[in-house]
Structure 1
């Protein structure tokens, strides 16, 4: 296979994660096309990278399991639907055991995001934010939601080098 194909597909994955994070940050939504494209790129990337079918199957199983967990978290109103879908789509790329790093890094960056939002929403910062763009004003509203797509993208990008996909192609 051409040597640039897998790195280009991985770069597309990273770009889609960043697009989802930015969309979530400014609009509190992650469009379905982002998660669907991430899912659609995985089999192409896995086959181009020469992953064995058993490894690809394990990745799919992990993606399905994370989707079920994300649906449960959505039902409990812990996360949004777009977050659950992007979380599962990114987990598909991680495989075992990198999915554990992904979950850990997503949780850690989610905690940092929560601390940043709590600071942004204090009386000290809020007056300064009020002159900023509309999305920043909305982000600073006390009691508002957290754009968790930011943490999901960060967790995935940090964990990706540990994935079987990256080890399989020497990236």
Structure 2
């Protein structure tokens, strides 16, 4: 039962961390390294609380994290993403099981597209000439919260009750 409470508490903490990431990215166009590092370093505690086995579960999570970092670091090198976004997605890949991480990416892309259209229209309406900076951490956090709310939190809550 302690694992169930710990798992639920960690998921709530992750949700709070995602909200902090969204707010700071919106305000400053920056996601702090300490926040990304905290998310990444608490993933093993979540694995333990969730009862993941070292093989293949934890190995798969680490593999997805490495693959996410490689892909998103390449996107950063091409100036398609910010560094904080890369680190946040990599940290999230350590938490979210692979199938749900793909769903997170789809929801993130949709939310990011809407965010870009809205901010782009606002930018044009105000006749601003400077470069438009999209706080993509908002889209990442939205997708992460969606995954937590639809998949992880209901499962953790039923584990506590049942």
Shared fold (TM-score greater than 0.5)? yes
Q: How many angstroms apart in 2 are the aligned matches of 1:156 and 1:115?
A: 21
Q: Which has the higher contact order (CA 8 A, sep 6+)?
A: 2
Aligned positions, number: 156
How far apart are 1:21 and its partner, in Å?
1.0
Runs of 4 or more, structure 1, over 6 Å off, are none
Specify the alignment match of 2:53 in structure 1. Answer: 52
Shift of 1:91: 1.7
Among 104, 108, 111, the residue aligned to 2:110 = 108
Unaligned ranges ≥5, structure 1 = 128-139
Checking the alignment, whether the CA contact within 8 Å between 1:49 and 1:169 is kept in structure 2 is no
> What's the TM-score once normalised by structure 2's chain length?
0.86
Preserved CA contact (<8 Å) 2:123 2:132: no
* Gaps in structure 2 of 5+ consecutive residues: none
The C-alpha deviation readout for 1:21-53, integer Å capped at 9, x for no partner, is 111110011110111100111110110121122
Cα deviation digits, residues 113-135 of structure 1 (max 9, x gap): 10110122132xx39xxxxxxxx
Greater helix share, 1 or 2? 2
Q: With structure 1 as the length reference, what TM-score do the two structures score? A: 0.82
Contact persistence 1:51–1:168 (CA under 8 A)? no
Q: 1:34 to 1:141 in 2, by over 3 A?
A: farther
RMSD: 2.2
CA pair 170-88 structure 1, distance change in 2 beyond 3 A:
farther
